[in-house]
Amino acid sequence: MRFLVSVHQRIVTAFAIAAGAVLTAMTLALIVNVAFRAMGHGGLYGMVDAIELGLMAATFLAAPWVLRRNGHVAVDIVLTTLPETGRRRLTVAMMLFGAVMSAVLSWSSITALITAVERGSMVRGILVFPEWVPLMAPSIAGVLLAAEFIAKAMAQPRIERMQTGL
């Protein structure tokens, strides 16, 4: 079991690094695009399509890592009013709900991906690419998110008071 946890953590970390690389590449491409336009040249071909794909990929690739680090937005108004046992139960219930929703996301993405591969569907914009390409990130991220939610539900949930700065 420890081996699987270690592999999962490495994959999640690798995908977070990949998401950072995608965001960095998009930032650099945007700078180059602005510079080209300022010099009177046309913009980079397919820039908008590439940024759309990059934003989606980076979001899904980074999501499991963000969840693992509790970097997501949490509204804990209800949790802070509950006794400790109620907090634990609600936290576990929410983690299990998150796991189910992540599994549904992954299942629907994988189903759409398989259909796109079977049909040979293409996305036709400025860039033309197979339709299954953008479906890879949510398919994989859904599985990783479900595993992360399950791990959080199985761990002894500890509700930490968030520092709001107020």
For the chain, how many structural domains are there in total? 1
Task: Please say whether the dihedral angle defined by the alpha carbons of residues 51, 57, 60 and 66, taken in this order, is positive or negative.
Answer: negative
Within a domain: 137: yes
Answer yes or no: is 101 within a domain: yes
- Residue 113 belongs to a domain: yes
Task: Give the integer Cα–Cα distance in Å for 112 and 14.
Answer: 25
Q: What share of the chain is helix, strand, coil (3-state, %, to 5)?
A: 75, 5, 25
In a domain, 127, yes or no: yes
In a domain, 23, yes or no: yes
Domain contains 164: no
The one-digit pLDDT tens for each residue of the chain (166 residues) are 789 889 999 999 999 999 999 999 999 999 999 999 899 888 888 888 999 999 999 999 999 999 998 887 777 777 778 888 888 888 899 999 999 999 999 999 999 999 999 999 998 888 899 999 999 999 999 999 999 999 989 886 555 554 444 4
DSSP state letter for 122: E
Residue 89 lies in a domain: yes
Q: Tell me which residue range forms the domain holding 148.
A: 2-154
**3-class SS at 128?**
strand
What pTM, to 2 d.p., does this model score?
0.82
Residue 160 lies in a domain: no
